């Protein structure tokens, strides 16, 4: 069970009458009297065991391992818009923030486990311990990844969800997060935009290049992108699609003539253009 930061709503996952999959329930709560009222069922979810309200009380996030009906994988995390209207409208507003999201580095189709225990952090972001390994990652990585929701007050894909690796010093973060009183963080301003993953900060190196160059994304950023290289007269001479599981992607240019080239990096959010000198 989780209380909203303003103390006026409660959310919890509970077993259905059949005693199988958990149903997500939402209540109004009067902190003065302790009265609980206006129950709303948000549906039967899979692994709805740690709902979490956004810092501004307008969104509700919940782990949800149901499969997408359109074949895009699993929901992983579902977001509900608590300002959508009545209970039926709130229930209908539920959408996955992972499946079909072109701006995240999380694949909804290669997950081994779901997210555990979503919690707001003191920086205005939301965190969840995870069993996520990432595309092509070794099994040993499954206890060293957090889900990070950079802007939990934002609707849909704009909430900026991504997987980020942490070094736990040989320990595991898969089972959950440390217990703490989340109300200590009430009233915090939303987290600023995560400039650590701004595609504009991507760099091309070495530059000048002789045999190959690489594209390096900033920090722990692993966004997918389409790469194209154009010569001085605008002809496309190289192209490839880079998956969001590596910060550096080597590009062979030994066969290109010496000169100045334009490297285009087309991310989901924006297109970045860099100049490359080939020796």
- Which regions of the chain carry the CATH code 2.60.40.10? 199-278
Tell me the pTM: 0.63
Superfamily of domain 199-278 in CATH is: Immunoglobulins (2.60.40.10)
> For the chain, what percent of residues have pLDDT higher than 90?
26
Q: Is the pLDDT of residue 171 over 90?
A: no
- What's residue 219's pLDDT? 66
pLDDT, tens digit, 9 for 90 and up, residues 3-47 = 888 888 999 876 555 545 567 889 999 988 889 999 888 887 766
Lowest pLDDT segment from 7-16, 149-158, 163-172, 189-198: 189-198
**Tens digit of pLDDT for each residue in 93-137?**
999 898 888 888 776 665 544 566 788 887 788 888 776 555 455
Among candidates 25, 22, 27, 68, which has minimal Cα distance to 45? 22
Mean pLDDT of 70-79: 74
Mean pLDDT of the chain, nearest integer: 78
């Amino acid at each position: 069970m989780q209380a909203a930061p303003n103390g006026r709503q409660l959310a919890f996952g509970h077993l259905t009458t059949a005693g199988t999959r958990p149903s997500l329930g939402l209540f109004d709560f009067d902190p003065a009297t302790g009265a609980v009222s206006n129950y709303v069922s948000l549906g039967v979810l899979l692994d709805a065991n740690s709902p979490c309200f956004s810092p501004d009380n307008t969104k509700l996030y919940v782990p949800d391992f149901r499969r997408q009906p359109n074949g895009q994988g699993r929901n992983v995390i579902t977001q509900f818009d608590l300002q959508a209207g009545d209970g039926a409208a709130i229930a209908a507003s539920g959408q996955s923030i992972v499946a079909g999201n072109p701006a995240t580095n999380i694949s909804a189709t290669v997950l081994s486990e779901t997210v555990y225990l979503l919690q707001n952090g003191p920086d205005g972001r939301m965190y969840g311990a995870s069993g996520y390994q990432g595309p092509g990652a070794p099994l040993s990585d499954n206890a060293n990844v957090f889900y990070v929701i950079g802007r939990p007050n934002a609707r849909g894909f704009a909430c900026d969800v991504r997987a980020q690796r942490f070094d736990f010093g040989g320990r595991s973060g898969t089972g959950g997060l440390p217990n703490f009183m989340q109300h200590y963080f009430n009233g915090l301003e939303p987290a600023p935009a995560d400039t650590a993953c701004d595609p504009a900060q991507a760099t091309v190196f070495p530059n000048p290049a002789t045999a190959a160059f690489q594209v390096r994304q900033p920090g722990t950023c692993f966004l997918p992108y389409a790469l194209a290289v154009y010569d001085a007269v605008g002809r496309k001479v190289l192209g490839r699609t880079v998956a969001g599981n590596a910060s550096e992607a080597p590009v062979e240019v030994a066969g290109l003539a010496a000169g100045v080239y334009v490297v285009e990096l087309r991310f989901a959010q924006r297109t970045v253009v860099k100049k490359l000198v080939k020796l």
